[in-house]
Structure 1
């Protein structure tokens, strides 16, 4: 390849990266805006229901329950029409990169946005990051189609990975984490071309969303004190503690999916179960509804008791499993980070109560808990450290984040843990293979009946 050809190829990659980042940023920006509006609307609805019930007006609460039934019906229709929009979306992107799955980028993007807003906006404990990654991947695939890149070619794969990273960057204002996530978790190989496109797409997507949402970190934890060197040893212990809590996450997700199959729930009955529970939790424990980023902010300023923190952790964990197992569009990324923040807060309170750790560092323990939980569940400690650093604005804590992440990663590695998205992808491929066998069996029966 001559120098001029290489130069034109790099220029094309940069332009495609900008196009991918622009498309991903706009799409995820719309998704973020609708999610924020739906969460604000949900709070208004709960306030009005309390007022109506107190005044003896029961028509509004009945309409409220009917709305959840309607949302369950819509979610079932969306999933039935576009099966590739279910769940997080990250396993599907990995399956496409392996050449084992395919998707129609336009229909998946629309279904993912609509389904995610309905599910998360209604209060289901799901996150926006997985859907944002898949939405970004759809944008990358769409740009590849427009530039006439082959679906299975290197350039198309590169744009898909870049789009996925751009989606994460747009979801959390974290361009650096978006680049690393795409290369470490999805592509798992490094090339100059892939790095060029990924950086261009992630920076462009983050710039687009910052125009609408500002450049402030996703989590508003205030000023975080730098950790003294003589306390870094506690971070390794915290990594082990939070890692042990996070080790239950992956098998519980798979169990939750099996739970729905054992119950035999189909159609709108699957999302209706967690939606009705969300309708009740909104009056009893509203803190665990939705993704949970507001709960993380509250942990840094509210003086929650240790017992209430444990209740929040158990409630968020169980509700997340029930919501994700239903198969509606929505990710586990943000609920996972919330569980890590709660685990870090619990560990910090235990140390502070024992007089082993100054209470003024409790907000730091919340940040480190998120990184540890991510590391043990996803088994990508570098991505987790960088992501939490960007999401909290705690750039002075890079060393501490790496220590706690590697400690938690060791828990998963020594106990035979596997990356959560790899496990979900394996389950998805096995189910698809089972469906293919059933279809082939039916085709054979039809052929035999025709021959007879």
Structure 2
């Protein structure tokens, strides 16, 4: 057994890198977030006045056409800025996607501000994650870190980006572990949490301490939890509908016979009349979420808002413009919760005092179903709303929605988007290897076996084992135990099936 003597020094160095990445990501995403907010307010003003003044209408059309052409040009130059960026980050951490960090960083930054700031139903969180990850990639390049160390910095940048976007450092860290990296390694979560907290401090300095989606609410008593079950079922079914539609939007846009990088012109023109008629529905959806608890909308109006948000969210994201689905999903979930809560109140089956609880639970359950990341959903909404009193309701609705979507054969939406991304790639980088990291779980096929006893997939090579902070160079007789973290070099040719086989060997049977 060989033990690296400077292991602790290496850990300190990595954490310092995490602080640097957190500061960079926090600053970048704060400017990104601030710019989007101010541009959205400007465009909303133009749209509202376009009804009464032709000059405002013409100005809005000219601005949005210019945005569509400019961002389309960015997309043609660098296709990896397309959409939210989360599938690209996930693919990068799996070694299946790679790109130059600077080329993506500045185009995603400018393109995201223009696309989201125009009022399209897109979220800032996905681009923020990609902005943070590219900054992590840049730090790795400047410090000459490769392999697993580079992946650590990229993932910590992703956590920092989401943290700055939502002021939710704990949920941001968990999202990277649960949804993007699919690994709870100590190395990953410590550095990701460090960068997320650092980034949150920067964003808090800019935007203040008030939670992003703060609303007054009263936790739901247990006697009303039958409505939570109903809400969870509805969220699961509608979550599956969301997945089916959004994963097919690319095919729909191909029927327009417009060059794919200029598809954004369609929603950019359609958003003008929408912004004039429903200005409070513009953007990612935070405005309408904050209005729901106090506006006393009739149930039919809530249903109308849901249909508008659902359809135009699909058109906005399907166009390929830089922007995410994270916040739009929360908005749709909040509307579903408001509809169910409104029905319960109108039937006299529930006190209106608990209406806000349904909005909060709806956001968590819808995100938990679509992303299949219930832990993240529970913590994210808790941090964004700013209260711990809804934890039981959030947990129940998230698990029910998750289970319903699973019964409907739904897959994590970002993973499905990654598979689509890989299918459209014209080239595969053959002949290379990438380093992956997997944790051995108790009861798995590897647990308690020696290295030579394991049928390793062709194209994989175990290079080291990390156990309780100690790194071991493996030999044929080395015993693998649960809790070990394995570092494995995998050929980029057929990388995905090889990785899936290794995951099957390390997880519970």
Q: Common fold, TM-score beyond 0.5? A: yes
Contact 2:75 2:261 in 1 (8 A): no
Secondary structure class of the residue paired with 1:331: coil
Shift in CA distance, 17/269, structure 1 to aligned 2, threshold 3 Å: closer
> Is 2:59 aligned against 1:63?
yes
Report if the CA contact (8 A) 1:367-1:388 is conserved: yes
Map 1:165-314 → 2, pairs under 5 A? 165-221=159-215, 223-266=216-259, 269-314=262-307
Other-structure match for 2:154: 160
Aligned length: 429
Question: 5+ residue gaps in structure 2?
Answer: 431-509
Per-residue deviation, 1:228: 1.7
Matched, 1:18 2:19: yes
Gapped runs of 5+ residues in structure 1? 54-58, 438-452
- Matched residues in 2 for 1:373 and 1:341: separation? 8
Match of 2:487 in 1: none
Alpha-carbon distance in 1 for matches of 2:183, 2:151: 12
Tell me the secondary structure at the aligned position of residue 425 of structure 2. Answer: helix
TM value normalised by structure 2: 0.81
CA shift, 1:285, in A, is: 2.3
Partner of 2:7: 6
Note the C-alpha offset of 1:230.
2.4
Counterpart-to-counterpart distance in 1, 2:148 and 2:337: 41
- Are 2:68 and 1:72 equivalent residues in the alignment? yes
Q: CA RMSD in A?
A: 1.7
Q: Secondary structure at the match of 1:248?
A: helix
What is the CA distance between 1:147 and its match in structure 2? 1.6
Q: Which residue, 328, 339, 342 being the options, matches 2:332?
A: 339
Render the CA deviation track for 1:87-114: whole Å, top value 9, x for unaligned.
0100001111111110111121111111
Q: Which has the higher strand share?
A: 2
Counterparts of 1:21-100 in structure 2, within 5 Å, are 21-50=22-51, 52-53=53-54, 59-100=55-96
Q: SS of the residue aligned with 2:176?
A: helix
Tell me which of the two structures has the higher relative contact order, counting C-alpha pairs closer than 8 angstroms and 6 or more residues apart. 1
Which stretch of structure 1 is more off in the superposition, 259-268 or 245-254?
A: 259-268
Output the TM-score relative to the length of structure 1.
0.92
Residue aligning to 1:356: 349
| 3-state secondary structure, aligned to 1:377 | helix
Q: The residue matched to 2:6 in structure 1 has which SS?
A: helix
The 1:408/1:156 distance shift into structure 2, 3 A limit, reads: same
Q: Is the 8 A contact 1:245 1:343 kept in 2?
A: no
Structure (1 or 2) with the greater helix fraction:
1
Q: CA separation of 1:48/1:80 partners in 2, compared to 1, >3 Å: closer, same or farther?
A: same
The separation in 1 between residues aligned to 2:278 and 2:181, in whole angstroms, is 40
* Deviation digits for residues 348-382 of structure 1 (CA, Å, limit 9, x no counterpart): 01111222221111111000000110011000011
Q: Taking structure 1 as reference, are residues 267 and 428 closer, same or farther at Cα in structure 2, changes over 3 Å only?
A: closer
1:109 aligns with 2:110: no
Residue of structure 2 equivalent to 1:449: none
